[in-house]
A and B are shown apart, each in its own frame.
Chain A
């Protein structure tokens, strides 16, 4: 990996680390992967760690008194410490391994939420949320009878903070649950301020960090978030692994969710006591290889530098927005580049996003089309679906050009 903080950002050196990028989707058509908000690609440094794990020291963790289990446990717990440092948690016990953002949020809903939310209470969230930060609350609300308030957006796709404050001021809010960065609009929410306001109102704050953690430096202590959730597969790590960060004092008071092995301290037929953090929330054999792989992903991202990745992506999205603006009848949703992650969701004349995605696929370009698990947001925007190009550390300016060219081709095909 040729990129270190002292050198200029070398995207070609980064690309060289990602084997999957160097392919043609059909003869003569190179892959242009612009579906990073859905899932990112993996560098060989991560792939090799997975391979090494299965070749050399695959074993169950926390129980075996033999060499392989000791090695697997050390690697699994080592990954936890890497992630603790990566997000600047106060303790590694605040890092709970889950399957991903969705499971992390469900964990909070099923443990803290189930124990604390009741009729008369409110959860305050936003209309821009991913389904994973809406549905778990709706499911619990149906059972417990609390209400959910959805803060609206301004016309530019940013959160309407006046309305947010007002909804918070109406009282009864026990939890504020917001995304850090929108997976559709790219909006970067003022999370530190949101957390502060939540705390002033006596509420806890949960942040969906699925789209922020991969692309920008995040310091959970500085944000003061009570819970912070993210997924490994969106940050060049494996699928099947994610993290719930929670403040330790809070996690200590929360009941466990899933019961089984590893999460207990002592089991008797008349009842059981729970293991300490974080194992209380890690029932069953965890995703060991994936956790170790996530540790390698964190190493890779840290070596390149999240601040540098963010700066590079900013230039890239600025350029992409500029080029997209040239295309007639194409409408991009969300704020300007200075308040936005590297995501561009758009509609193009009357071409359905699915048809557009299909046509771009012929050109080797992978984008996403649909509601991107944010149906309420699309309803709010008054559109059924959108096309979305999302960029990451290995995308290039010339890939933006390939996208624009393909859009013009589509335009011609649809004679618009």
Chain B
């Protein structure tokens, strides 16, 4: 019943990894989820190979959105932006490891959305968006 609030999700939500804001940053982007009022600002620094060498994020909102942001931050540190571009919605949902209902998907995907739009713009995010069309 409380599957949605498994220990590791609560742990990430309550003890977020990579909190804060990098300034200056190579990427600095903020997105919102109107459903829960979630907010997420993501800042990145890249090395010469376009590898994510530093990451920090600041946000507020439901445990699902904050935990996913924390997990995703761990996941992408050290990856190149090209590698990050390949991350799918389903992979992010797998990080969470729990089944989500339609209204909660937006919470869980806020971090991927912020990351993708921050790096590649809205158009790139729209591709992810269309994954659930069929």
Contacts and interface: CB of A to CB of B under 8 A. Distances in A.
Contacts of A91: 126, 129-130, 133
Contacts of B1: none
B129 A65 contact: no
B98 to A, nearest CB: 14
Interface in B110-134: 122, 126, 129-130, 133-134
Contacts of A264: 34
Interface in A246-266: 248, 252, 262, 264-266
A250 to B, nearest CB: 14
Given A62-B103, A65-B104, A77-B102, A248 B133 contact: no
Interface residues of B, number: 13
Contacts, number: 39
A248 B125 CA distance: 13
A396 interface: no
A275 interface: yes
A84 B133 contact: yes
A74 interface: yes
B88 to A, nearest CB: 17
A69 interface: yes
Contact of B34 (A65, A93, A275): A275
B101 interface: yes
Interface in B73-120: 101-104
A62 B35 contact: yes
Given A84-B133, A93-B129, A69 B34 contact: no
24 contacts: A62-B35, A62-B103, A63-B103, A65-B101, A65-B103, A65-B104, A70-B101, A70-B102, A70-B103, A73-B103, A77-B102, A81-B134, A84-B133, A91-B129, A91-B130, A92-B130, A92-B133, A93-B126, A248-B126, A264-B34, A265-B32, A266-B32, A266-B34, A275-B34
Interface of A: 62-65, 69-70, 73-74, 77, 81, 84, 91-93, 248, 252, 262, 264-266, 273, 275
Interface of B: 32, 34-35, 101-104, 122, 126, 129-130, 133-134
